[in-house]
Homo-oligomer: A and B are copies of this chain.
Amino acid sequence: MTGAWHDDGSAVVTLTFDVDAETPILAAGARYADHLMTMSHQAYGPDVGVPRILELLDDLGVPATFFVPGWVAERRPAMVAAIAEHGHEIAHHTYSHRAPTSLHPDEERADFERGLAVFADQGIEIVGYRAAQWEAARSTFGLLRDHGLRYDSSLMGDDRPYALDLGDGVRIAELPVHWSLDDWEQYAFLPEPQIGSVIESPRKVLELWRAELDAMRNYRCLFNLCLHPFLSGRPSRLAAVRELIEYGLGLGDVRFRRCRDVAEAALADPDVPTRGLPDVTVDRAVYPD
């Protein structure tokens, strides 16, 4: 242990699972509750995918972070308990999986706090947050500050952790994500609501992610992988995740960590830079709304 956020690794892997279940579809329209194929497609994630994922992580001895919407935790408390019992982190992923940028700040606050209350009821300690669809608004960071959270994982301004200065001396860690390390763009498909296009092969996805892990080792990056149990819980996709983890373990110099541990290490590392939120002032004479 050197005090550096990366613990002398060439790269750090955070395996994150967004257990969205039915929420992204319901956020597109409550009417989909009666589309039974669609509902069952989403339920596969917590009901079939998560147990297999927990088994895989046990097998390989690596920790992970599960971002769970409060709505999902409320309906599946046993799943949340099982994740915690296996030693993984549970983090906040809104209550309803509606994008903060699509809500009034008052709605966002109500949704955020309703989610927190679910986890409090279940005795789950929450220190991290990820916005639904990664669509964080400016108001989101006020909520993180007000509730004392330690990190966010929704932005894309770097591929290494950094500290966000939220004002009043409050700093949280940002653990950046990216579209290329998300299984959604590779696998998701539904005709209504219309999502995705061609469904990719796990072989291609493994190639994509392995190449990124390889290259990230040149820059000491955070390989912050975002997986959805209803997608990557399917057999051959989970086999590709297994192969990826085994590859990473085999490299020897890659660390596997929970998000909360990376966040604390980053906040304690003096070499990690502190930044403000993106602040783009727009001249409306140049850019229309």
Partner of A289, one of B29, B203, B278: B29
- Contact (Cβ within 8 A) B207 A235: no
Known A-B contacts A159-B235, A211-B236; the reply to A36 vs B138 at CB < 8 A is yes
Partner of A211, one of B36, B221, B239, B289: B239
Known A-B contacts A34-B101, A157-B44, A289-B31; the reply to A199 vs B208 at CB < 8 A is yes
- Contact (Cβ within 8 A) B192 A36: no
Query: When chains A and B are docked, how far (Å) is the Cα of A244 from the Cα of B11?
Result: 25
Tell me if A198 is interfacial: C-beta within 8 Å of chain B: yes
Partner of A37, one of B156, B286, B289: B156
Tell me if A277 is interfacial: C-beta within 8 Å of chain B: yes
Tell me if A219 is interfacial: C-beta within 8 Å of chain B: yes
- Residues A216-238 near B (CB distance < 8 A): 216, 218-219, 221, 234-236, 238
Query: When chains A and B are docked, how far (Å) is the Cα of A133 from the Cα of B36?
Result: 12
CB-CB < 8 A to A185: which residues of B? Answer: 189, 197-199
- Contact (Cβ within 8 A) B136 A36: yes
Q: Tell me the number of copies of this protein.
A: 4
- Contact (Cβ within 8 A) A278 B218: no
Known A-B contacts A95-B286, A203-B207; the reply to A39 vs B239 at CB < 8 A is no
Tell me if A30 is interfacial: C-beta within 8 Å of chain B: yes
CB-CB < 8 A to A288: which residues of B? Answer: 29-30
Known: A43-B278, A178-B234, A211-B239. 13 other contacts (CB 8 A): A26-B280, A30-B284, A30-B288, A36-B277, A37-B135, A39-B278, A41-B178, A44-B158, A47-B158, A48-B159, A208-B236, A211-B240, A218-B239
For this complex, 28 residue pairs linking A to B, each with C-beta atoms less than 8 Å apart, are: A22-B280, A29-B287, A30-B288, A30-B289, A31-B289, A33-B280, A34-B101, A34-B137, A35-B137, A36-B137, A37-B131, A37-B135, A37-B136, A37-B154, A37-B155, A37-B156, A41-B157, A44-B159, A101-B192, A111-B286, A135-B191, A185-B197, A201-B204, A201-B208, A202-B208, A204-B204, A212-B234, A212-B236
